[in-house]
Chains A and B, each alone.
Chain A
Amino acid sequence: DIVMTQSPDSLAVSLGERATINCKSSQSVLYSSSNKNYLAWYQQKPGQPPKLLIYWASTRESGVPDRFSGSGSGTDFTLTISNLQAGDVAVYYCQQYYTTPTFGGGTKVEIK
């Protein structure tokens, strides 16, 4: 299995500020022939199923605000939430789909 390690486990950010979540894979999830990173980000709010935010490491899902952005390649990835809103309070997960899918442990984002 590819192990996905997220950091930090939790963070508290003031409204309007930026939240940065890191995700590291135990091996590269970059498929060289397509030059695509098989990495997605999900948001899960309490009592709800996860919601797809980003795929191919940086492609926003339709309807996702552009405050959410993904970056990185190979083994190191970042989800950035700009201008944090109250509605962004959630747990965020990265997932690789290069091989048998695995998720990171999650990062809880709260308001400071």
Chain B
Amino acid sequence: EVRLVQSGAEVKRPGESLKISCKGSGYSFTSFWIGWVRQMPGKGLEWMGIIYPGDSDTRYRPSFQGQVTISADESINTAYLQWSSLKVSDTAMYYCATGGEVYKYWGQGTLVTVSS
């Protein structure tokens, strides 16, 4: 069974750093792109970027380029989404997803709350 398990909810202050994770199991982790999707409170889905764990090839939506860093550690089948300096506007649910050209498998989501 394919599973993506994300790290737990986070509450942070503006300016703090954060790294959330997404651990894959039940499939060849290095063979499929993993994407990250943001959902701000009460809003729709925004594709942020993707990584191919096999060679760490990474692509970003231009609006997220430089704002976040996507990485992966194939030795532990885990992808990451990282911020160096959080903003209040980063408050959202973040999902990882995989499955080929469309997202057949999704993590449960990680709620990130940034508040002073």
> B95-116 CB contact bits vs A (8 Å, 1 = yes)?
1010101111011110000000
Residues of A within 8 A of B95 (CB): 49-50
- Count of residues in A whose CB is under 8 Å from the partner chain: 22
Q: Which of B47, B61, B109 contacts A49 (CB 8 A)?
A: B109
Within the assembled complex, what's the spacing in Å between the Cα atoms of A102 and B95? 15
Within the assembled complex, what's the spacing in Å between the Cα atoms of A105 and B95? 17
Q: Which of B45, B99, B104, B106 contacts A103 (CB 8 A)?
A: B45
Within the assembled complex, what's the spacing in Å between the Cα atoms of A51 and B95? 12
Contact A102 B47 (CB under 8 A): yes
B96 nearest in chain A by CB position: A49
Q: With A102-B47, A103-B44 known to touch, is A52 a contact of B102 (CB < 8 Å)?
A: yes
Contact B102 A95 (CB under 8 A): yes
Q: Which of A44, A91, A97, A105 contacts B102 (CB 8 A)?
A: A97
The answer to whether A104 has its CB under 8 Å from any CB of chain B is yes
The answer to whether B59 has its CB under 8 Å from any CB of chain A is yes
Q: Can you name 18 A-B residue pairings with CB atoms under 8 Å?
A: A38-B101, A40-B102, A49-B95, A49-B97, A49-B106, A49-B107, A49-B109, A91-B44, A93-B44, A97-B101, A97-B102, A100-B47, A100-B61, A102-B47, A103-B44, A103-B46, A103-B47, A104-B44
